[in-house]
Structure 1
């Protein structure tokens, strides 16, 4: 598998260069590309949903309804991702991108390369997931 040279260039920069103009431009480009990809896929999902709604075959209705349910879940996930991308792009404009919303500490290039929409550092994200898990257990969901 070929490594992304742009990502490697970001990783090769010294820590003192964290969230410099080049890194911000790199992540902005990644986020814009991801947004375009998600929007295009979401349009395909919308068309598939519209096509399913026109299908009138009663014999296959259960299969069609299950496929429609899956498409709606996918559209919901992608809509939430679009909101996260928009938030990350706003954070770039405001100068907050790359820093944890909870602690103010750097999120880290490695984490941002894997998840450019990350707004929490790894430690804060782990605390959040533990709180959510504890909350769901206390409600009897887990």
Structure 2
């Protein structure tokens, strides 16, 4: 993969990372502001349900942040864009769709097939 394309992926990954970190910061500040007591238990339950949902989303985003950082490290060490299973170059189209991917489409398809079997 040429330097210009790698630079484009680095920029894309850094942009995604920045957006995720900003969202995480907003969530923390919003949760700190929501320390209110509700007289109605239903309102309290609703707030707790919303918080749990928000925390599940943030946990998924935390995992994505880790994957983005790993992808940036692969760009730095020169292994970005190569399948970790078969070492074939991953197509730029696949990387644009999922820039943190570590598997080519064939290996990912096989991995999913094996997971369904068992």
Judge same fold: TM > 0.5, yes or no: yes
Shift of 1:62: 1.0
What is the aligned partner in structure 1 of residue 23 from structure 2?
41
The TM-score, its normalising length taken from structure 1, stands at: 0.77
Q: List aligned pairs for 1:1-142, cutoff 5 A.
A: 19-52=1-34, 54-59=35-40, 60-135=43-118
Say how many residue pairs are matched.
116
Change (3 A) 1:74 1:106: same
| Cα deviations by residue, 1:4-54 (Å, 9 ceiling, x for unpaired) | xxxxxxxxxxxxxxx1111111100111111101100111122233333x1
Change (3 A) 1:58 1:131: farther
The TM-score, its normalising length taken from structure 2, stands at: 0.91
> Could you tell which deviates more after superposition, 125-134 or 103-112?
125-134
Shift of 1:133: 2.6
